[in-house]
Structure 1
């Protein structure tokens, strides 16, 4: 597998954000690059955006009209925007649930690689990443650096409430407490 350069990923990230902004589509940067903007290590392979599910078709049209290479993978919860080997995911469903406008409304407009764009909150970054953990995918390796970097920006009580039904996510929070990364629950 050929991995794109960070510069290539950064370029398609910016082009996608600009197209969504110009098309007046509600969106927010999420995932590893949202964490990076807030102080976590830079991701190595792609970038992610959220769009409300009810805006997904319009978002796709806006991206195609902007001349971007938009592809529909087998998964029905996202589209991919390619530039060479680099790509970004434009996500309309997270962990089986539709992206709602509230997560995008909570996002903060921040400068990202010289383009201002909405970036989901640190609490939402951690919550969405933890809720993706399952018995088939439970890799804490990439979660630790982000949790350490974002720990002071996260409402951990909110994370605990949200992830409580997911044993894999709740265990990660307990592990962070036991390691002294975050304070125990109040």
Structure 2
């Protein structure tokens, strides 16, 4: 169990009494039922960086096999709940407030597994003792959120600025695996954002990732026309797969999503124009 955290901050995201009571009750119910879960989102970000963000949701991360049990616990307590997206997300509601029950990621890559729990940190959230998502998994999952309307790169830069010396860099690189270019891109941006802080990234990490890049440059490009942009945005690369003939990297067997998953995820896009 990882217990290395920055010193605790006295502030937590501002929330009114109704939302606070709902979240405290939900967390207490899950603790009492001894069902494993982790707290992420704005509450974890505040614990790791001190940045408070007012939200009307609480993110909990669970293993896929525990999803329905958690939904049942919250429904039995009188809350509404549904499986919003079968490949990664369920929700429980109380008025305008909701608990996101996350068991993977929108692109299907960052599935919650035992390692999330083995490397979690303990902390009180809203006065309830919980486990926080590990820093490595937060960086991993946020690195792929590069939508036009939501970009999590700033969160990653802030986490690295505060927590770089606490990271298990080997484990983080293992999480990215074949998607190491995504990690490298965020680390390069970190050095641009914070020139005086770039030494926080270990030299050996940059050398290893740049060596992978050099090897890739020396090799021939793959012959298959694959678009991995869909792993970064569910909307911005639809033209590539729908009109330009690229294969969707989310789709099985390359990715973890089915045609039905992708269709459902795409249909939910808020078309503003």
Q: Answer yes or no: same fold by TM over 0.5.
A: yes
Deviations 1:17-73 (A, max 9, x none): 111112221111123311212233123323211111111111111111122232332
Distance 1:119 1:67 in 2: 26
RCO (CA 8 Å, sep 6+): is it higher in 1 or 2?
A: 1
Corresponding residue number in structure 2 for 1:48: 59
TM-score w.r.t. length of structure 2? 0.57
Q: Is the 8 A contact 1:133 1:139 kept in 2?
A: yes
Q: Which has the higher strand share?
A: 1
Q: Which residue of 1 aligns with 2:176?
A: 163
Q: Could you tell me which residue of structure 1 aligns to residue 203 of structure 2?
A: 185
Whole-angstrom distance in 1 between the partners of 2:152 and 2:44:
19
Q: Please point out which of 91, 94, 99 is paired with 1:83.
A: 94
1:90-140 C-alpha deviation (Å, 9 max, x unpaired): 11223414321221232222211210011122222222222x235766552
Q: Is the 8 A contact 1:12 1:81 kept in 2?
A: no
Alpha-carbon separation, structure 2, partners of 1:143 and 1:155: 15
Structure with greater Cα Rg: 2
Task: Spell out, residue by residue over 1:70-97, the C-alpha distance to the aligned partner (whole angstroms, 9 max, x if none).
Answer: 2332x22221122221222011223414
CA distance in 1 between counterparts of 2:189 and 2:70 reads 38
Q: Does 1:173 align with 2:187?
A: yes
Count of matched residue pairs: 180
Name which of 26, 30, 39 aligns with 1:20: 30
* Deviation, structure 1 residue 173: 1.6
Give TM-score, length-normalised by structure 1.
0.80
Aligned positions of 1:92-171 closer than 5 A: 92-94=103-105, 95-97=107-109, 98-130=111-143, 132-133=144-145, 138-163=151-176, 165-166=178-179, 167-171=181-185
Return closer, same or farther for 1:150/1:161 CA change in 2, 3 Å cut-off: same
What RMSD in Å do the two structures reach over aligned CA positions?
2.6
Unmatched runs of 5 consecutive residues or more in structure 2: 1-13, 205-273
User: How far off is 1:152 after superposition?
Assistant: 3.4
Segments of 5+ residues of structure 1 without an aligned counterpart are none
Alignment of structure 1 residues 57-72 onto 2, 5 Å:
57-72=68-83
